[in-house]
Structure 1
Amino acid sequence: MHLDTITKFLNTFFQVERYNEDEQGGIYLPSTRSIKRLGLALEPWDGLYNWVANQHIDALFLHRPWKLDVEQLPPDIGVISYHLPFDESLTLGFNTRLADVLSFSNLEVFGEKQNRPIGMIGQAPNQTFTDIFNCVKEIFNGYEQIRAASENEVKKVAVVGAMTDLLVREAASHGVNVYITGQLRQPAAQAVIDTQMSVIAVGHYRCEIWGLHTLASILQQRWSKLYLVH
């Protein structure tokens, strides 16, 4: 298997045709090397180059590759990268895999950016805010901030990769009373008070880590003999 085989699969998975050409991602550093071991990381770090060599990695997936020093990589290591498509599909956007582990039912698209959904709304029957909060903590191994407006039964939950005054009010108009996002945003504070919205801010990095592990699982399901290092 080669780099273009993986990118062809991921281009379809991420539906990259929905994005501008400079946002689509794909092959960042070409290579003709056969791939048996694929390394996955969010971004380069000081020990990356030794890690690649020590783990005998044939190619890399990097979410944010911009600080990569390609001169330090072993010869013929290919790199693929998806930034915005990864964020919108595998973190806090319209993420059906996350909806499954949150036990959502009646999933709806929520919000829009350039004709792409930026979030989702689901029903979480017979759960209180504490139930949802504990579930989110377990999924993402922690959280950044919460605002618990009420311990009443949760009606609907919104998972959104952004937080604005308008989005919070729109979510409330759909019957949402719990809003899950990456970070609490001050411009949305008044809307949160006015709508009595409970908010869970997971933290951007935690969302990305969950997305990276999920991507590894998807690739393993597609290629059972591919060895993934992350």
Structure 2
Amino acid sequence: MVELNQLLAWCNSTLNVKAFKDYCPNGLQIEGSHTVHKIVTAVTASQEAIDAAIAANADVLMVHHGYFWKGEPAPLTGMKGQRIKKLLLHNISLIAYHLPLDAHVTLGNNAALADLLDIKITGPLDPAESQPIGNVGELATPMTVDAFISHLAARLQRTPLHLAATDSSQTATIQKVGFCTGAAQDFLDKAAALGCDAYISGEVSERTYHEAKELGIHYFACGHHATERGGIRRLGQALAQQFNLEVIFMDFNNPV
């Protein structure tokens, strides 16, 4: 058991929350029980995740994607209202960490993705940022495009969407890779400027197809959910060890 405030203090300090300007509040979003015995973690605070936390008799649902995003309607009605009502009725706290969980050098989404894909991180994607979100790294051995696609599919359990650098570049080799999990397709130009052979993120836009060809860099859209499972799982594991808590990671299938 740990006090909720003690749990939050450790997370906020470890993830250096105050250093980030984010699109949503990081940390406690909905307050439930003041004591924590069990935590359920998930990528997103969906109804499915809430129901799983209730079924598990958890005191906390901890996620990467929580609520109260910049620009979203404030009223607690409809789907949002129903979700929050269930959390309050079952005295479950909702805790969310967005950009701080992307960026952390060991617990973060990008660090976890690099380990999963056997990419050795060599630096930040944007050296000018005070808290870099994405990274650049290298594969131990260069791979052909086809081999890299197979590698991504095997490790992430889904086939990535590949946008080729040119119309005839399928046999090119890939070694230097830029990456940023989630919806960071618009950082493609940063990876190209650093001389990367390829760039990985979760989502794709119509414009990304043209940018990859014109910038001469391969782009792999590997899924927002698939690229961001690692951070929240690692954070949960760290909390289990730090506070001797039961922490259950729930990985709900999401094709996006």
* Alignment TM-score, normalising by the size of structure 1: 0.80
1:136 corresponds to 2:158: no
Identity of aligned residues (%): 20
How far residue 5 of structure 1 moved from its aligned partner, in angstroms, is 1.9
Query: Partner of 2:10: helix, strand, or coil?
Result: helix
Give yes or no for contact 1:140–1:210 (8 Å, CA) kept in 2.
no
Aligned CA distance change for structure 1 residues 186 and 21 (closer, same or farther; 3 Å): closer
How far residue 199 of structure 1 moved from its aligned partner, in angstroms, is 1.6
How far residue 143 of structure 1 moved from its aligned partner, in angstroms, is 3.7
1:116 alignment counterpart: 131
Aligned CA distance change for structure 1 residues 199 and 110 (closer, same or farther; 3 Å): same
Q: Match of 1:217, as an amino acid?
A: Q
Alignment partner for residue 185 of structure 2, among 146, 160, 163? 163
Aligned CA distance change for structure 1 residues 4 and 175 (closer, same or farther; 3 Å): same
2:221 alignment counterpart: 201
Give yes or no for contact 1:2–1:33 (8 Å, CA) kept in 2.
yes
1:14 alignment counterpart: 15
Unaligned runs of 5+ in 1: none
2:72 alignment counterpart: none
Cα deviation, 1:74-117, whole Å, max 9, x if unaligned, reads 453322122333344433xxx22322332223511012786432
2:6 alignment counterpart: 5
Give yes or no for contact 2:113–2:227 (8 Å, CA) kept in 1.
no
Alignment partner for residue 195 of structure 2, among 160, 175, 178? 175
1:105 corresponds to 2:120: yes
Aligned CA distance change for structure 1 residues 69 and 174 (closer, same or farther; 3 Å): closer
Give yes or no for contact 2:146–2:170 (8 Å, CA) kept in 1.
no
1:44 corresponds to 2:66: no
Query: Partner of 1:76: helix, strand, or coil?
Result: coil
2:245 alignment counterpart: 226
Distance 1:147 1:87 in 2: 24
How far residue 6 of structure 1 moved from its aligned partner, in angstroms, is 1.9
* Alignment TM-score, normalising by the size of structure 2: 0.73
Q: Match of 1:220, as an amino acid?
A: A
Q: Match of 1:226, as an amino acid?
A: L
Compute the RMSD of aligned alpha carbons.
Answer: 2.9
Distance 2:86 2:193 in 1: 52
1:78 alignment counterpart: 93
Give yes or no for contact 2:177–2:196 (8 Å, CA) kept in 1.
yes
